[in-house]
Amino acid sequence: MNETPTAEKTIAEMITEEAPDAPILMENLMDSHLVEATVMHIEWERVTMYLDVRVEFSEEADRSRPLVFYAVNGVYKARAVFRQESVSGNLYKLSLNVTNPGNARCIPTGNYSMVVCQDRQILAVAETDIPLALKLQECSRNFLYSGKARRKTYAVTFLVKEWAETLPFVMHILHAQNAGMGDIYAPPKKKPKFLAKQKKKFKAKKRKFAFKLLQNMYDHYRKKYKNNKNTVLFLYEANYNMASNLKAVQKRIKERGIDKEFTILEYAWLADMPSVYNKRERLEHQRELARNLAMANIIFVDNYVPAFTRIKLDLEHTTIINLWHAGIGFKAVGYSRWGHLAASAPFLAHRVYTYGACGSRQVSHVFAEAWGINSERVLPTGMPRMDKYLDKTHREEKIKELYEQYPMCKGKKVILFAPTFRGNNHPDAHYPFEIMDFDKLYELCGDEYVVLFKMHPWISTPVPIEPYSDRFLDLTSYPDINNLFYITDLLITDYSSCIYEFSLMHKPMLFFAFDEMQYSISRGFHHDYRLAAPGKVCNNFEELLTAIRDKDFEYEKVEAYIQRNFEVIDSNSSDRVIDWFILDKIPQQYRDEIAARDEEMRLMYQRLSFVSMKPVKASGDSGDTAEDTPEETENAPQEAQSDEDSNNDTGV
């Protein structure tokens, strides 16, 4: 594969001495037939489409300059650049994330052509290969989203232009809602009683008023504190208290004395506020939330914050950093699970992040896809919670403490069983213990093993291990699973992100994936599960017992996982977070990459014009037909997610 020049460089080269905001008019050279482009293949990976495009060059074509592939709509404006993954001969491998082509928004409604360019020159509009044209509908995708009734869809449909001499490639984007087509054989619905109808309307108005009130509170306080500088807010979910990454950074700020230069705020938002507090308490909480958000010019979060969809934040003067609470696991969240049940709306809270943190640039795209932001803004600071975890003194203290607290573990090999939950969210979280044969596991342990069970905190049902208490121990209530890793010899999990921290212990793992197929279809994975799992995958309990008995762990996958997910392994992640995000010392390399991507989007959206492609009207022609000028909605609505639609993402 040959490396190809990036589209960012090509667009940046268009900036000349002309006025900074003057339109960049693209020159139409399609009649010269310098290039012919044909879309040969389309496939999807979650919300990203991959296209194989064959490009034929004429003898007069200049092959030294890179090609750029734009998605151009019916009013001759580019709304996306197809990213070039690779080039092999005349075959270009392109990709396009429909939920974020680079501006942290979904591609707007419209009909799009693939336009091939060099610098300011339009060379061709891509055609569709005949075998592909016959199965375009199979390549199309409908992404359900927003609301319990699943009434909305973001549809991506591939077409060819009707009644054309050739087969021009067309990508049709539509934000669709329920068309109201019911079952004609179903009994007619009873009209809601007047009071019930009025009550429903009142609730909707009440919710709308509450959001507007919250916005007004924020605007009021923002005006009051608009000159605030050096104010840092740690915002966390009250159900969990401040812990993990946020706590590590806050502690390090105090150790370095930075709290003398900065005002440090701390506030807990309430996910279950409507049901827990009375009206006066809810109002007071909203007021305090708005005030804290308005006071801060730097905000750290580590989870999904629904308030970010309800308040239009002053993002020009506020930096928001997500230090995600989970490492890289398997299960998809955010936009990575678009089209599944409980999928997010086109605009959700993750979109507002200025930066995100991760362990390695090799995995920044995973977070970026889930959040709907650009991967250039997900920086490899490392995870602050790892600082204490990797500290030798802390490790020795916890090992001693754990053996004193749980003496049955001393002198034995410890198996830690730590799967994720089943279900959509907190209310229906569970784990099917009936699939486990505790008698056989107990027998296998003998005098060699003890088993610790650390279930997901959302699972309230105790592990049924009372008859086996001399070898089994339920530690679900133990506060920090990372400490348990120190004394663990073998981790058994499934799709949990706990593998991220455990991998650095350089110990084996097994994956008990009894519902691998169902989980893949209903929840979705970021990667091919069997290729990405750093250990042996077992699909039933007998396979799991055999793997333990034979010590068949496929340990070599652990070291490969570490190399892929950790750029730097040290105890300085909190310092990097502080230096880069609070003291504004982001390395220049990353600043340049962010600036280049932002400038690419600004130029494309505000300046590039493909109007030269517009057909010249024939004499006596009354105008363009519907086929010639596809319907275009330039500013398609980017819906905020309501309380009813809110999706409580739990981990990457």
- Quick check: helix, strand or coil at residue 199? helix
**Under a CB-based contact definition with an 8 Å cutoff, are residues 317 and 297 in contact?**
yes
User: What pLDDT does 628 receive?
Assistant: 43
Q: Is the dihedral of CA 541, 542, 543, 544 positive or negative?
A: positive
CATH architecture, domain defined by 391-565: 3-Layer(aba) Sandwich (3.40)
User: What pLDDT does 348 receive?
Assistant: 86
User: What pLDDT does 209 receive?
Assistant: 86
How buried is residue 502: exposed, middle or buried, by Cβ count under 10 Å (0-12/13-18/19+)? buried
C-alpha closest to that of 375 among 359, 391, 364, 389: 364
- Quick check: helix, strand or coil at residue 268? strand
Both structure tokens of 39: 């879309």
User: What pLDDT does 651 receive?
Assistant: 35
- The phi, psi pair for 153, rounded to 5°, reads -145, 140
Question: What is d(CA 526, CA 367) in angstroms, rounded to the nearest whole number?
Answer: 10
Under 8 Å CB-to-CB from 312, ≥6 apart: which residues? 215, 218
Q: Which residues of 583-616 are buried (b: 16+ CB within 10 A; e: fewer)?
A: eeebeeebeebbeebbebbebbeebbebeeeeee
Tell me the longest C-alpha to C-alpha distance in the chain.
Answer: 94
Question: What is d(CA 215, CA 309) in angstroms, rounded to the nearest whole number?
Answer: 11
User: What pLDDT does 1 receive?
Assistant: 41
C-alpha closest to that of 340 among 467, 175, 518, 180: 518
> What is the DSSP pairing of strand 83-88 with strand 78-81?
unpaired
> What is the DSSP pairing of strand 48-57 with strand 35-45?
antiparallel
User: What pLDDT does 467 receive?
Assistant: 92
Measure the CA angle with vertex 621, ends 618 and 626; round to 5°. Answer: 105
User: What pLDDT does 2 receive?
Assistant: 42
Question: What is d(CA 582, CA 299) in angstroms, rounded to the nearest whole number?
Answer: 10
DSSP notation for 391-438: -HHHHHHHHHHHHHH-GGGTTSEEEEE----BSSSGGG-B--GGG--H
User: What pLDDT does 329 receive?
Assistant: 58
Tell the residue number behind the tokens 């969210």, with chain if given: 425
Q: Which residues of 513-552 are buried (b: 16+ CB within 10 A; e: fewer)?
A: bbbbeebbeebbbbeebeebbbbbbbeebebbbebbeeee
User: What pLDDT does 629 receive?
Assistant: 43
Task: Work out the number of other CB atoms within 10 angstroms of the CB of residue 91.
Answer: 13
Residue 334 Ramachandran class (φ > 0 left, ψ -120 to 50 alpha, else beta): left
pTM: 0.84
- Quick check: helix, strand or coil at residue 390? coil
User: What pLDDT does 618 receive?
Assistant: 55
C-alpha closest to that of 328 among 454, 503, 536: 503
The domain locations on the chain are 7-180+595-611, 205-387, 391-565
Question: What is d(CA 587, CA 602) in angstroms, rounded to the nearest whole number?
Answer: 23
- Quick check: helix, strand or coil at residue 263? strand
Q: End-to-end alpha-carbon separation of the chain, Å?
A: 31
Cα-Cα-Cα-Cα dihedral of 327, 330, 336, 338, to 10°? Answer: -130
Under 8 Å CB-to-CB from 94, ≥6 apart: which residues? 50, 51, 52, 53, 69, 82, 83, 84, 85
Q: Give the DSSP H or E segment for 178.
A: none
SS3 per-residue string spanning 214-241: HHHHHHHHHHHCCCCCCEEEEEEECCCC
User: What pLDDT does 530 receive?
Assistant: 79
User: What pLDDT does 640 receive?
Assistant: 46
Average pLDDT of each block of 10 consecutive residues along the chain (652 residues)? 46 53 91 97 95 97 95 96 95 97 95 96 96 95 73 90 85 83 68 72 81 94 93 87 87 96 92 61 89 97 91 95 80 80 81 95 91 96 93 95 96 95 79 94 95 91 92 93 96 91 95 83 68 91 96 94 88 96 97 95 93 76 42 44 42 36
Task: Work out the number of other CB atoms within 10 angstroms of the CB of residue 405.
Answer: 10
Do the first three CATH levels of 205-387 and 391-565 match, i.e. the same topology? yes
User: What pLDDT does 622 receive?
Assistant: 43
**Cα→Cα distances 267→125, 172, 353, Å:** 53, 44, 18
AA letter at 353: Y
Say which CATH topology domain 205-387 has.
Answer: Rossmann fold (3.40.50)
- The phi, psi pair for 497, rounded to 5°, reads -80, 0
User: What pLDDT does 318 receive?
Assistant: 96
User: What pLDDT does 633 receive?
Assistant: 46
